[in-house]
Amino acid sequence: MDMQNKVLLIIPAYNEQDNIEKVADQLIRDFPQYDYVIINDGSRDKTEEICEKRKYNFVNLPINLGIGGAVQTGYQYAKKYGYEIAVQIDGDGQHDIGYVAEVIKPILEGKADISVGSRFLRKEGFQSSAARRTGIRILSSLIRICTGVKIFDVTSGFRAVNKKFIDIYAEDYPADYPEPEALITAVMYGGRVQEVPVIMRERYGGESSIDFKKSVYYMIKVTLAILIKRISYGVRR
């Protein structure tokens, strides 16, 4: 079986009218070997209108479910249509689709169940703010303490999973700021996680939905979620 024909790119999009055309058009033009689905997460701007006008393949959520709900919808789509590998990429242009081949390589080679595109292995390209990098290091250390697995870029939304985890994430995926917690879920289910170096960019346009207050909430919420997830795993064992 040609595995390349069974790869789905999941593109969550919330108010990405300034970016979604650039992302989708690059994918369609330069990477026709990959299927894709845009998950319009109840956008209040023209994202839905653009997807309809350009006849993109997209799922329209009537309300905003948040990034976790949007990504899980993508995994449910991948499960329904029998994809072997699903790749998450952001709809804001930060993730270079040219690196998809590198991100899925450990899965194709049978070396990993989850492959994370990491901006911190080579430390090239967009590195995020100093405050966010500090927060990421804290979460990385917490995940290592809880699981014994060292992952540097725990908040990276550029990641790929195999069919086993397509099925798992279709049923069990964190709702709010999910990336670090999803790694805990992966380890709980016996998943092999590997990082590969990628170069990320600043978003094409628009503004990030995460401001200072949301960043504080993010750290508190994710820290508690990681601890609760780890404790619940210990109880179930």
Give the number of other CB atoms < 10 A from CB of residue 30.
11
| Biggest distance spanned by C-alpha atoms of the chain | 50
Distance CA 63, CA 173 (A): 18
| Tokens of residue 1, six digits | 């079986």
In the prediction, which pLDDT does 235 show?
42
The whole-number pLDDT of residue 1 equals 39
pLDDT value of position 124: 60
* For the chain, the helix, strand and coil percentages under 3-state DSSP, each to the nearest 5: 45, 15, 35
pLDDT of residue 221: 84
Q: Which residues contact 122 (CB under 8 A, 6 or more apart)?
A: 197, 199
pLDDT of residue 136: 87
* Three-state DSSP class for residue 193: strand
Domains, the chain:
3-236 (3.90.550.10)
Condensed to tens digits (0 to 9), the pLDDT of residues 103-147 reads: 999 999 999 999 999 988 776 655 565 777 788 889 999 999 988
Spans in the chain with pLDDT lower than 50: 1, 235-237
Closest CA to 27 of 35, 19, 39: 35
pLDDT for the residue numbered 204 = 54
* C-beta separation of 174 from 98 below 8 A: no
